[in-house]
Amino acid sequence: MADFDVDLFVIGGGSGGVRAARIAAGYGARVMVAEEYRVGGTCVIRGCVPKKLLVYASRFSHDFEEAAGFGWSVPEPSFDWPTLIANKDREIARLENVYTANLEKAGVEIVKTRAVLENPNAVRLMSTGAKVRARYVLISTGAAPNHGADIAGLPHVISSNEAFHLPELPRRIVIQGGGYIAMEFAAIFEGLGSEVVVVYRGENILRGFDDDVRAHLRGEMESRGVKIITNALVTSVDKAGNGYRVHLSSGGSLEADRVMFAVGRHPNVGGMGLETAGVKLTADGGIAVDEYSRTSAPNIYAVGDVTNRIHLTPVAIREGHAFADTVFGGKPTMVDYTEVPTAVFSEPEIGMVGLTEAVARDRLPKVDIYKSVFRPMKATLSGRNTRVLMKLVVDGSSDRVLGCHVVGHDAGEMIQLVGIAMKMKATKADFDATMAVHPTAAEELVTMREPVARYVREAVE
């Protein structure tokens, strides 16, 4: 131990790294965290947190529209983007300070620098040139936006990173991509008053989500005015006046004030000396790790998006915690990646946990599907043409609920709780035995009596 300056050197002060550092320090480890940008990482600085603040902002417009049906007369509302961005930035700065203070309180030393591995036990701090000898190293450098194909005019395109700091709200925006970020920013900009066009290369948005969810969200977003062009790619972007002309593979072009791509994210693995330290990558470019997040170098671990497992903050946090328990707490801990609940903060929201209908039917001989599509109570007076979708995917043999899918207001809040029931292996009978909370939308999850479909796979002789 005496040969090392620290017991743990963490490269990357985001969700996974910060959690690992604090827990390891709690076990008595001497910990140093290097962060070259801002403490808090993508989630806090330019991901989940600022995104959710923009989501809140964007939803007021719908509330103003809907208020009249409840007797309110709302004067013509006006919106000021710079105010929102300044307030958001103030909150993010506060959170960054909280993260920093929590690390310091735990006795962790923070160094604001890029850190490069010189060998498995030595890290060079690029800001000062100092060398730190570390018993263990944790890599938690996260991921960064992909740019997609190298098309003409790519420098005109922004990613979510820049979207958080635009000087003004674009009147018209084209967003390429059909995943989480594209849907969330399409909803944000639509709610704030922009004309939004989504361009997606496949048949329908949100590949990997349940097909009913995909169709439902698309319909809802289109009815709110988001234009969704599928089976198309952006082939080039030209400057046109104060804005841009966006050319599509399907023919034709679109005019926009901003063009944003949300076409996935890649692990941040460059310029860190990984090869020198003997850290291997997977075929898809993430750091290869075992079930304890250990890399090919025995004293180096990696957690979070840089490992390209599940790109979700709570997963990175869990991995960071499990790493610290394993290495410094004497409690070898693996992360359970089953039934991870997730939400897309589109408008309306999506909440999902477990299997889609397609996956369940592929894997299981008997599958029962319960589904309800209904008008939420608020819409009866607000007059909004909207529907909620709730769907349960049930194992027809064991009666276990294997998947739950919700599209509607507060779906993210609902799915967190359904996730507990599913983790406890709840059956459809358990859902049925649960008393409804009335009047709520969520009660529909415990009142769906008859399956809308029962699939039984023919036995192959």
Q: Are 358 and 351 in contact (CB under 8 A)?
A: no
Q: Does 429 bind ligand NDP (CB under 6 A)?
A: no
- Of residues 22, 245, 247, 265, which one binds ligand NDP by CB under 6 A? 265
**Is-catalytic flag, 216?**
no
Helix residue ranges, H only, 201-251: 211-223
Q: Which stretch binds ligand NDP (CB under 6 A): 33-41, 101-109, 276-284, 341-349?
A: 341-349
From CA 341, how far away is CA 249, in angstroms rounded? Answer: 35
- Choose the catalytic residue: 266, 311, 405, 438: 438
The Cα-based distances of 254 to 40, 304, 320 in angstroms read: 37, 37, 44
Bond prior to 348 in cis (omega within 30° of 0): yes
From CA 399, how far away is CA 395, in angstroms rounded? Answer: 5
Q: Does 181 bind ligand NDP (CB under 6 A)?
A: yes
- Of residues 214, 216, 309, 311, which one binds ligand NDP by CB under 6 A? 311
Structure tokens at 386: 């909207």
The residue among 284, 269, 46, 283 whose CA lies nearest residue 163 is 46
Angle at 123 between CA 110 and CA 321, to 5 degrees: 55
Q: Does 233 bind ligand NDP (CB under 6 A)?
A: yes
State which residue, 149 or 433, has the beta carbon closest to ligand NDP.
Answer: 149
Q: Minimum distance from CB of 271 to ligand NDP (Å)?
A: 22
Q: Which stretch binds ligand NDP (CB under 6 A): 61-69, 167-175, 196-204, 276-284?
A: 196-204
Q: Does 214 bind ligand NDP (CB under 6 A)?
A: no
Q: Are 423 and 337 in contact (CB under 8 A)?
A: no
In the shown chain, the binding pattern of residues 271 to 310 toward ligand NDP, with x for contact by CB under 6 A and - for none, equals: ----------------------------------------
- Of residues 68, 93, 101, 149, which one binds ligand NDP by CB under 6 A? 149
The Cα-based distances of 395 to 358, 412, 414 in angstroms read: 13, 23, 21
Q: Does 41 bind ligand NDP (CB under 6 A)?
A: no
End-to-end CA distance of the chain: 63
Q: Does 396 bind ligand NDP (CB under 6 A)?
A: no
Q: How many CB atoms lie within 10 A of CB 126?
A: 15
- The residue nearest ligand NDP at its CB is 179
Q: Does 207 bind ligand NDP (CB under 6 A)?
A: yes
Q: Which stretch binds ligand NDP (CB under 6 A): 32-40, 96-104, 118-126, 263-271?
A: 263-271
- Of residues 54, 187, 259, 263, which one binds ligand NDP by CB under 6 A? 263
- Of residues 342, 356, 382, 386, which one binds ligand NDP by CB under 6 A? 342
Provide the 3-class DSSP secondary structure of residue 346: coil
Helix residue ranges, H only, 257-355: 274-277, 313-328
Which residues form the catalytic set? Answer: 438
Binding residues vs ligand NDP (CB under 6 A): 148-149, 176-182, 184, 200-202, 207, 233, 262-265, 311-312, 342-345
